[in-house]
Amino acid sequence: MAQYYSRIMGWGMYAPERVLTNDDLSNMVDTNDEWIVSRTGIRERRIAAEGEATVDMSIHSAKQALEQAGISASDLDLIILASSTPDYLCPPASSLLQDRLGASKAAAMTIFAGCTGFMYGLVTAAQFVENGAYKHVLVVGAETLSYAIDWEDRDTCILFGDGAGAVIVSRSQQPGGMQSMVLGSEGSGWDSLILPGIGSNRQITEETLAKKEHKLRMNGRAVFKFATRAMTDAVTKVVTEAGLTINDIDLLIPHQANARIIDLAIRRLGIERERVMINLDRYGNTSAASVPLALCEALDEGRIQPGDNIALVAFGAGLTYGACVWEWHGDKTENEAILVTDWPVSDTFSEYAQQMRTTAWRMQVQARTKASDAAMAVMLPLYTFQKGVKKRLQQFEDEQ
C-alpha cells in the first residue's frame, strides 16, 4: 500500500479594507494607543464592511489558495471551515462556501473550536489526506468577530478583528508535511470566554439584549493563565514527538491573541523572537483566522523555505488548544543516493543523540516555566494592590 504524506500546496488570505486604529477606539471608549499597545501589542485591526460576512471573506482567501495550488474548486474532496461567527447557526457556513465556490463534489463541515478551530481543521485535513481517503482538502479559518463585540467594553473591544485565511492540503508521496500533532480541551474553563445570550441554553429576549448577553464576554486573567501554559505545553509536546528540539524549529507561528502571552511562551520555550511570526499589531486577535493569516504572511515574506520545520499553535474558547509540527516540502527528488552518514549504524547514534537533546530541552522548558510561574505569583498581588491604590486615588480626586 502506498505511503501518503500531507502537503500544503496553496494558501490565501483576506483582510477587510476598513482599518480601526487604537486612536479610533479612544473616541469610543476610555482608552488610548499607549495603554492598548503596552498591554496587548495591538495597534490596529480590520473590521468587516456592512453586509460583509464570514463566508464572503472565506471566498476571497479560498480562491487565492486554489490559484496558488493550481487546482480548481471541482478538484476539492472536502471543505473544512473553522469559525465561531458563521453567517447563520443553520445552515452550516461550510455548505454556503462549498456552493459559492462551485466545489460540486466536495463534502463540507464547519468546526466550532474557538481560536483553535483552524488547528483542528488542519489536523483533520492531514488525516484524510494521509490515509488516502481524499486528495485535496480546503481548510479555512474565518471570523467576523466585530458583530459579537460590545464596543463599550474596553476589555474586549480593543482585542478583536475580522479576517480569513485558507490553505489547500493535498496528498503527496514525498516525505514531509505534518510530523506530529496534539489537540485538546479543558472544558472546565468553558465560561472564561463566552457569548452567553445566543444558543439553545438561553433564548434571546428583550432582557438578554438589554444586558448585552449577545456580546462576547471574557475572563482575561483566566484566559491568560490557560493560554501561557497551553502554548508552552503543546509546543513542547509536538516538538518532542517529532524528535526535535526548539533549535530545530525554523519558525514558530502562534495564535495572535496578545503580545504578553506570546512573549512569555517565547521565554519559556527558549526560542529567539526572530524565529517567531508576529502580526497581531496589524490585525489583532482574529480567532480561527489568526494562524492562517500569520502563515500566509510568513510565506509571502519568504520566511518559510523548503525543508523548514514549522510549529503552529493555538488556544481558544472551550477552553481548547492545538499544535503541530509541519515539515515544509522541498524540491528534492525521492530517489537520492544514500550517503555514508545515512547508513543504519549512523542513524542509531544520531537518533540517540537527538533524544538526549530533546530531553535536555524539555527539562529547560520545565525549569523556565516554574521560575516564571513563581515570579507571577509574587508580582500579581503587587500589581493588583497598585491598581487598587490608583483607583482609590482617582475616586478621591473626583470627589474633591
How far apart are the C-alpha atoms of 197 and 212, rounded to whole Å?
Answer: 8
Residue 66 cell numbers, joined: 486554489
Helix (H) or strand (E) holding 259: helix 259-269
How far apart are the C-alpha atoms of 325 and 167, rounded to whole Å?
Answer: 16
In a domain, residue 395? The reply is no
State the catalytic residues: 115, 255, 285
92: DSSP letter? -
Residue 230's alpha-carbon distances to 252, 259, 262, 271, in angstroms, are 15, 15, 11, 16
> In this structure, are 145 and 275 located in the same domain?
no
Least confident of 74-78, 165-169, 271-275, 359-363: 359-363
List, in sequence order, every residue forming a beta bridge with 276; answer none if it has no partner.
252
Write the pLDDT tens digit of every residue in 8-45.
999 999 999 999 999 999 999 989 999 999 999 999 99
pLDDT of 343 > 90? The answer is no
Residue where a domain stops, chosen among 114, 143, 176: 176
Write the pLDDT tens digit of every residue in 73-103.
999 999 999 999 999 999 999 999 999 999 9
Mean pLDDT of 272-278: 96
Residue where a domain stops, chosen among 152, 176, 200: 176
* pLDDT at residue 323 in the model: 98
> In this structure, are 308 and 353 located in the same domain?
yes
pLDDT of 369 > 90? The answer is no
In a domain, residue 394? The reply is no
Write the pLDDT tens digit of every residue in 191-241.
888 878 777 887 888 887 877 778 888 888 899 999 999 999 999 999 999
- Domain of residue 185 covers 181-282+299-386
List, in sequence order, every residue forming a beta bridge with 164; answer none if it has no partner.
14, 142
What is the model's pTM?
Answer: 0.84
Residue where a domain stops, chosen among 137, 159, 176: 176
Average pLDDT, the chain: 88
Helix (H) or strand (E) holding 170: strand 163-172
pLDDT of 340 > 60? The answer is no
* pLDDT at residue 103 in the model: 97
Which CATH number is 359's domain given?
Answer: 3.40.47.10
> In this structure, are 71 and 158 located in the same domain?
yes
* pLDDT at residue 391 in the model: 62
> In this structure, are 367 and 319 located in the same domain?
yes
User: 171 in helix, strand or coil?
Assistant: strand
Least confident of 70-74, 281-285, 340-344, 385-389: 340-344
Q: Specify the higher pLDDT residue, 10 or 154.
A: 10
In a domain, residue 400? The reply is no
In a domain, residue 397? The reply is no
> In this structure, are 237 and 382 located in the same domain?
yes
Using 50, 70 and 90 to split pLDDT, how confident is the model at 316? Answer: very high
Find the length of the chain: 400
> In this structure, are 251 and 318 located in the same domain?
yes
In a domain, residue 156? The reply is yes
